[in-house]
Structure 1
Amino acid sequence: MNAGMMNWKEHGRKIPKENLDRFIPNRSAMDFDFAHHALTEALIEARDGKKEEPLELSPSKEAYRKRLAETLGLNRTRILAFRNKPQPPPHSHYYSHHQQQQPLKPRRRRIPQSCSKVLDAPNMLDDFYLNLLDWGSRNVLAIALGHTLYLWDASTGSVSEFVTIEEDQGPITSISWAPDGSHVALGLDNSQVQLWDSSSNRKIRTLNGVHHSRVGSLAWNNHILTTGGMDGMIVNNDVRIRSHVVDTYRGHTGEICGLKWSGSGMQLASGGNDNVVHVWDRSSASPTHRLEEHTSAVKALAWCPFQSNLLATGGGGIDGAIKFWNTHTGACLNSLDTGSQVCALLWSKNDRELLSSHGFSHNHLALWKYPSLVKMAELTGHTSRVLYMTQSPDGCTVASAAGDESLRFWDVFGMPETAKKPDQKAAAHEPFSRVPRIR
């Protein structure tokens, strides 16, 4: 043997390991768990003197068994290994620890750059401090044009003139659908607030003595209708009872131009012409946080649907900033300079995206990715400042109204995985289910 090895070395040739006369197992290539199982199973069968008869399987099940055994490495017969482990098996439909799962590529959604529909909106008031557009849970959009409220049924595409306010009461300065999608509240220039039933086309009641001047902001929280006026006051009205005023919030020194309840109904955000945002707890008459970083009036308010304590606010005029707040601590998390007056904000219900509408000087809509704040799209078409925005119940479509007297519809948020229609029966139970009628 030694002479043979010398002859190989003398000729400068490499000795092949396979031709050696000794077989030394390769420990790194052995599966000791499998070896232990194979040996103990054989000993048990030898001790008991019996072996289980294999079950007769159908051809399809037998093929499945063989494929599974091959993938999991269970069809081995040898215990000792003399070579390195073989290459991983080819791609299989069954899971194998040898295979590394490939990361999924992010889905890229196409964002339409043009509106899907345009409707005329004559006599639309070009007033930054008002709120004249709202889309109800029964898929009916309400828009106030001067003294008249119009309804557009998105299911049928029909438009109807709902009510015209008397000359000495109007114009209409704010509108808001109740959660049931059947009752709508109107704020008027003469300080009145009226409640109407859209199904019967009749006025339910009038709330008098709430404010001393026009009512430019409305927000529902179940059976509570919150109103904000030019007098700087915010009032909670329980529409189920005759003495409807239940809370009054004082803190703003200018007109209230934005009101939004959080998704939980426990916090209220208010924006005013005094450049201040207040965050109120429902049970407290004093603001929890006073946010003073904006330099112009704050009308645009939007609570995040996927993070309950995240509030987005937009400054008008020369401010042009969108700010993001933690309403538990009052801290400003981020700020985005848009370079244009911010009139309205809407979060997507399906993705982590925020839509903003702008006035001077851009007069467009902008879609932002959160939290990177990368601009995803600019939606153009309006020729005047885009003062009002509202979102369809399914979260797909956004309607915008501008001083150019046009109402445009944008399919900016795409289609959700499962677009659910509003539950008419469930909606009918709030906010008026506990009482026979509004007094």
Structure 2
Amino acid sequence: MDAGKTPSWSPLRKKIVRKKNSHGNLDRFIPNRAAMDFDFARYMMTEGRKVKENPLASSPSKGAYQKLLAEVFNMNRTRILAFKDKPPTPVELFPTEVYSSQQLKSVKPRRHIPQSSERTLDAPDILDDYYLNLLDWGSSNILSIALGNTLYLWNASDGSSSDLVTIEDDYGPITSVRWAPDGQHIAIGLHNSEVQLWDITAKRKLRTLHGGHRARVGALDWNNYILTTGAMDSRIINNDVRMRSQIVETYRGHTREVCGLKWSASGQQLASGANDNLLHIWDKAMASSTRWLHRFEDHTAAVKALAWCPFQSNLLASGGGAGDRCIKFWNTRTGSCLNSVDTGSQVCCLLWNKNEQELLSSHGFTDNQLTLWKYPSMVKMAELTGHTSRVLFMTQSPSGCTVASAAADETLRFWKVFGSPEAGKPAPKTNSEPFANVSRIR
């Protein structure tokens, strides 16, 4: 390098020296020596430039050495001191690019949750009883609700309503209802301990199940052709509706009225809750009818609200009554409690969103609200108000969009709380074959 000449990197240095940092001070340029080739720099400042300007001035041996150095250090490079690594691409704090329509489609918009019910129907004479289950929505899109001694059907497809049966005073009132998986048959629990099976298409009773319980039947659930019943006598009975002697198994573990029954989606585990504050998990494969898989004693009030998670098979949510007010989450494979949330009010019902990781709870004292929770953070997404008494019963439409709630204020309300179902998701298949021979059983 000739004396007095300005190095080629001086403008870069000058430019950097004039930059100011975030504190308003001048930054100092510190070259990255690890990224510099000092052997090549020395060669260029001494012999390399002479070889370029006068290649005949050196001896043959020295010329061969110079040629070798030139090949090694790549004579095409012009800058003496240079960074080997390419400087990083600057990050734009405020991007100006326009997103394509395909990119916009991939961004999921935040769902709007209506704060008021879209429809309200009268429900006179509905029983104000926490331990009963008087509302259910079948796979054929027909909602059933028990009002006193009469079971009413409301067709959500066309808005029509009709009554299916009125029970005599000696047998009623109706204490529980539950649709069979096929959506054409329904089970009705009665105050006199009997259970009736009805065909809604023909509007006729198929048979009466009796002899299993000694008190009112307040909880029902289906597991294919097995109808499980829970009663005030603390018993849980599995009834095979295809058989004349229908009782196939009796679970004994509760000491007070059974008010919550839910089979898992796999049909392998049954969750039961009762007024003894206990929650049991029964395994279908276990031979003993008196030995539960898990027994949970964490709730401090009656356990009625039960809901199996649709996206995690071993996850169960349970809710406690007025003396407990908690929603608890259980891993039924390990038997561990994953979380407990104090809701501040009586938990009456729980429903999972079929399309999102959300849980809806209905409450009694003191706000009588429906609360939508984000799972697993359990952050409140919305609180739906409108009922003026405790929201004792809640059910979900087959599509998963709409929730119906019934309260002691004698109203039935419909809420668009769960959004739209997944596109292209096939409807669940139903099987009516188990009921083919029921009409012949007397």
Same fold per superposition (TM over 0.5): yes
Give a deviation string over 1:263-318, Cα, whole Å, max 9, x none: 10000000000000000001331111110000100100000011111110000012
Which residue does the alignment assign to 1:427?
A: 430
- The CA distance in 2 between the partners of 1:384 and 1:172, in whole Å, is 21
2:145 aligned counterpart, secondary structure:
strand
State the distance in 1 between where 2:267 and 2:77 align: 68
SS at match of 1:205: strand
Which amino acid is 1:162 matched to?
L
Q: Calculate the TM-score normalised by the size of structure 2.
A: 0.78
Aligned pairs (5 A) from 1:147-226: 147-226=149-228
In 1, the alpha carbon distance for the partners of 2:175 and 2:240 equals 21
Could you tell me how far apart the structure 1 residues matched to 2:330 and 2:236 are?
Answer: 21
Q: Aligned in 2, Cα 1:24/1:327: closer, same or farther, shift over 3 Å?
A: same
Partner of 2:351: 346
Aligned match of 1:138: 140
Contact kept? 2:206, 2:438, Cα under 8 Å: no
Provide the C-alpha distance between the structure 2 equivalents of 1:135 and 1:370, rounded to a whole number of angstroms. 24
The answer (yes or no) to whether the contact 1:132–1:143 under 8 Å persists in 2 is: yes
Whichever residue aligns with residue 5 of structure 2, its letter is: W
User: Could you tell me whether the CA contact under 8 Å between 2:207 and 2:439 is conserved in 1?
Assistant: no
The alignment covers a number of residue pairs equal to: 372
Write the letter of the residue equivalent to 1:8. K
Q: Counterpart of 1:432 in structure 2: which amino acid?
A: F
Tell me, yes or no, if structure 1 residue 357 matches structure 2 residue 408. no
Structure 1: unaligned runs, 5 residues or longer: 28-81, 95-100
Q: Which amino acid aligns with 1:24?
A: M
Other-structure match for 2:340: 335
Contact 1:185 1:193 in 2 (8 A): yes
Aligned to 2:311: 306
Q: Given residue 6 of structure 1, which amino acid in structure 2 is its aligned partner?
A: A
Q: Which has the larger radius of gyration?
A: 2
Deviation, structure 1 residue 24: 3.1
Give the 3-state SS of the residue equivalent to 2:392 in structure 1. Answer: strand
Q: Distance in 2 between matches of 1:387 and 1:85?
A: 67
Q: Distance in 1 between matches of 2:12 and 2:420?
A: 68
Q: Which residue of 2 aligns with 1:6?
A: 3
Distance 2:110 2:396 in 1: 22
Which position in structure 1 is the counterpart of 2:239? 237
Whether the 8 Å CA contact 1:195–1:205 is kept in 2: the answer is yes
Q: 1:262 is matched with which residue: 264, 278, 300?
A: 264
Matched residue, 1:280: 282
C-alpha displacement of 1:108: 1.3
Work out which of the residue numbers 417, 420, 439 in structure 2 matches 1:415. Answer: 420
Structure 1 residues 362-406: Cα deviation after superposition (integer angstroms, max 9, x where no partner): 101000000000010000000000000000001110000000000
Residues 45-71 of structure 1: CA deviation (Å, up to 9, x unaligned): xxxxxxxxxxxxxxxxxxxxxxxxxxx
In the alignment, the residues of structure 1 paired with residue 173 and residue 311 of structure 2 have an alpha-carbon distance, to the nearest angstrom, of: 37
**Alpha-carbon spacing, 1:256–1:331, altered in 2? closer, same or farther (3 Å):** same
C-alpha distance in 1, partners of 2:183/2:224?
A: 12
| Cα drift, residue 438 of structure 1 | 5.7
Find the aligned partners of 1:242 and 1:321 in 2 and give their Cα distance: 42
Cα–Cα, structure 1 residues 369 and 197, in superposed 2: closer, same or farther, change >3 Å? same
Q: Separation in 2 of the partners of 1:323 and 1:356?
A: 12
How far off is 1:92 after superposition? 12
Asked if the contact 1:432/1:438 (under 8 Å) is kept, the reply is: no
Task: Give yes or no for contact 2:280–2:296 (8 Å, CA) kept in 1.
Answer: yes
Cα deviations by residue, 1:91-121 (Å, 9 ceiling, x for unpaired)? 8999xxxxxx99x755311111111100000
* Equivalent-residue separation in structure 2 for 1:166 and 1:15 (angstroms): 97
Alpha-carbon distance in structure 1 between the residues aligned to 2:359 and 2:6:
75
Q: CA deviation at 1:9?
A: 4.6
Which of 285, 291, 300 matches 1:295? Answer: 300
Equivalent of residue 382 in structure 1, options 383, 387, 407: 387
The one-letter code of the counterpart of 1:108 is R
What amino acid does structure 2 have at the position aligned with 1:325? W
Aligned residue type for 2:209: L
CA offsets 1:155-174 (integer angstroms, 9 cap, x no match) = 01001111101111000000
The residue aligned with 1:24 is 75
C-alpha contact 1:180 1:431 (8 A) present in aligned 2: no
**What is the CA-CA distance between 1:428 and the residue it aligns to?**
4.2
Deviation at 1:8, TM superposition (A): 1.6
CA offset digits 1:206-234 (Å, max 9, x no partner): 01111001000000000000000000000
Alignment partners' CA distance in 1, 2:439 and 2:162: 25
Contact kept, 8 Å, 2:241 with 2:438, in 1: the verdict is no
1:427 offset after TM fit, Å? 2.1
**Residues 217, 232 of structure 2: 8 Å contact kept:** yes
Structure 1 residues 106-145: aligned runs within 5 Å: 107-145=109-147
TM-score (norm 1): 0.78
- Cα shift at 1:431: 3.7
1:78 alignment counterpart: none
CA distance in 2, matches of 1:162, 1:247: 30
Quick one: distance in 2 between partners of 1:239 and 1:259? 18
Q: Is the 8 A contact 1:217 1:258 kept in 2?
A: yes
Alignment correspondent of 2:372: 367
Which of residues 323, 342, 350 in structure 2 aligns to 1:318?
323
CA distance in 2, matches of 1:338, 1:415: 27
1:69-98, CA deviations, whole angstroms, 9 ceiling, x for partnerless residues? xxxxxxxxxxxxx9986998x98999xxxx
Cα RMSD for the two superposed structures: 3.3
Distance 1:280 1:428 in 2: 25
Q: How many angstroms does 1:432 deviate by?
A: 2.9
Question: What's the secondary structure of 2:5's corresponding residue?
Answer: helix
Instruction: Give structure 2 stretches of 5+ with no counterpart.
Output: 14-40, 42-48, 53-69, 90-95
Q: 1:15, 1:373 → 2: CA distance?
A: 55
**Further displaced range: 282-291 or 190-199:** 282-291
Cα separation, partners in 2 of 1:438 and 1:230, compared to 1, 3 Å = farther
Q: Distance in 2 between matches of 1:294 and 1:139?
A: 34
What is the deviation of 1:257? 0.3
Deviations 1:408-429 (A, max 9, x none): 0001000023265746xx4244
Whole-angstrom CA distance in 2 between matches of 1:176 and 1:268: 16
Map Cα deviations across residues 25-49 of structure 1 (whole Å, 9 max, x no partner): 569xxxxxxxxxxxxxxxxxxxxxx
